[in-house]
Amino acid sequence: MPRQIIHTLNAPAAIGPYSQAVSTGSLLFTAGQIGIDPLTRQLRSGLEAQTRQVMTNLEAILTEAGSDMSKVIKTTIFLTDMSHFGVVNTIYGAAFAEAPPARSTVAVSALPLGALVEIEVVALIN
């Protein structure tokens, strides 16, 4: 089954040798997204702003691939501090109010550019 590289200007460009997302068949796999504003190319300040930007970036990638948040089947959240879970969970939960996807949350020692949160998703595409 061939794979297709997904790229949109509405999400931050990759900061290394990877793609924003790759689709194959009916599945889409995104790279982990941190709270970088695609226009300014700067990391948002603070946990809430970073988390909201992460969700916006993911929505842009999903849209480019012909998917949306309702088709996300699995997410992985990476946090540099598990005490941030409540704040991230509230913002994340608003995006998945009905039939939320499966999820894992992992504590990590650091994230690129000093980010506080990173989220990746697997979604169905049309």
pLDDT tens per residue, range 73-95: 999 999 999 999 999 999 999 99
The pLDDT tens digits for 35-49 are 999 999 999 999 999
CA–CA dist 98, 118 (Å, integer) = 22
Q: Is the pTM of this model over 0.85?
A: yes
Binned at pLDDT 50, 70 and 90, residue 15 comes out as confident
Task: Map out the domains of the chain with their CATH numbers.
Answer: 3-124 (3.30.1330.40)
Q: Quickly list DSSP for 57-121.
A: HHHHHHHHTT--GGGEEEEEEEES-GGGHHHHHHHHHHHT-SSPPEEEEEE-S--GGG-SEEEEE
Q: Dig out the tokens for 92 from the structure.
A: 């994340």
Q: Is 36 helix (H, G, I), strand (E, B) or coil?
A: strand
pLDDT at 1: 80
CB-based contact 87:50 (threshold 8 Å)? no
Binned at pLDDT 50, 70 and 90, residue 100 comes out as very high
